[in-house]
Amino acid sequence: MSKYDMEINLLSGALGAEIKGINLKDNSIKNFKKINKLLLEHKVIFFREQDITAEEHINLANCFGNIETHAYVKSRKKYPEILRIIKEANEKNQWGEGWHSDVSYNYKPTKAVILKSIKIPPIGGDTVFSNMELAWKTLDDGIKKIVKNKKAIHSSLGAAYFVKNYRSMESNGNYDEYSNEHPILRTHPETGKKILFVNWTYTKKIVGMKKKESDEILNKIFQHQERLDLTCRFKWTKNAVAIWDNRSVNHYAISDFFPGRGLGYKRIMDRIAIEGDKPN
Ligand code: SIN
């Protein structure tokens, strides 16, 4: 492979590709178009050995749209665009554990996230992604019929949820709570594809349904979304970058830090999120 050739290695049969031969420091329109095409096709793309600086990370994010800051967690002092996710060496908990789509409780949930690894444990702390376009296609027909034209309520769970159980994740002082209704079946604004837009962490109730009935249906959907055949899993190395289309994937940062194996190592990631649209 010459340095100008691109190599695409699929991570699973469901979604995800590791890309070689793209320079993330190049923020020309031509390079961005190439990256965005890969993102729309594979839904999450990974790059290794990308020693991009914080400024280059921000420049790359700016190509996708406006950068959004997290509602509850303090950003890096020098770079307010970047949220540093830190798991201390002897911490078991991992920020981002549990299936979710980032900030789906916002009126305009995140469009995409660019996550760069800074420090990675030798074992543990992989991230898993699940394809929500495939999740809709493979969902039970009876459930599809019930939820097709319905909305669901997504709730932010409050500030404590994002900082209380994580030693180095600091509150930014905002304690407001947010809740918004979004269609359960949304249409991707760029590809026109149908996406199942609910997630285990933030989606609380189907609008217009009794709580018990809503819980039953949502639990069935959550179980379906977690099916391993809809997923791919990325093992991080230092200076790797993941870009995910937050409209069409759910993800889960695995907290497999157990004594004698994953526990005892620090994990640090730099995260930049890009503003999205109101789901339709
Ligand atoms: C996140 O959920 O945004 C963080 C994912 C990770 O740290 O792997």
Cβ of 73 less than 6 Å from ligand 1: no
Instruction: Supply the pLDDT for residue 3.
Output: 53
Tokens at residue 192, please? 């026109």
Distance CA 85, CA 108 (A): 22
Tokens at residue 108, please? 């305009």
Q: If you measure from the C-alpha of residue 235 to the centroid of ligand 1, how many angstroms do you get, rounded to a whole number?
A: 13
Q: If you measure from the C-alpha of residue 21 to the centroid of ligand 1, how many angstroms do you get, rounded to a whole number?
A: 25
* Mean pLDDT by groups of 10 residues along the chain of 280 residues: 78 98 95 97 97 97 97 95 97 96 97 98 97 98 98 93 93 94 98 98 97 98 98 97 98 96 95 97
Instruction: Supply the pLDDT for residue 119.
Output: 97
Number of H helices, E strands in the chain: 6, 16
CB 169, CB 95: distance < 8 Å: yes
The enclosing H or E element of 115 equals strand 112-119
Distance CA 15, CA 128 (A): 11
Tokens at residue 227, please? 């099916």
Instruction: Supply the pLDDT for residue 2.
Output: 54
Distance CA 248, CA 277 (A): 13
Instruction: Supply the pLDDT for residue 5.
Output: 82
Strands (DSSP E) found in 150-240: 151-155, 179-183, 185-187, 194-196, 203-206, 231-234
Rg of the chain, C-alpha, whole Å: 18
Q: How many CB atoms are located within 10 Å of the residue 76 CB?
A: 12
Ligand 1 atom closest to the Cα of residue 269 is 7
The enclosing H or E element of 57 equals helix 54-64
Ligand 1 atom closest to the Cα of residue 85 is 7
Distance CA 265, CA 278 (A): 39
Cβ of 112 less than 6 Å from ligand 1: no
List Cα–Cα distances, 264 to 30, 119, 213, 216, in angstroms: 43, 13, 43, 39
Q: Where are the domains of the chain?
A: 7-275
- The values of phi and psi at residue 239, to 5°, are 65, 30
Which CATH superfamily does the domain covering 7-275 fall into? Clavaminate synthase-like (3.60.130.10)
CB 272, CB 57: distance < 8 Å: yes
Mutation test residue for ligand 1: of 72, 95, 234, the one with most atoms within 8 Å of CB: 95
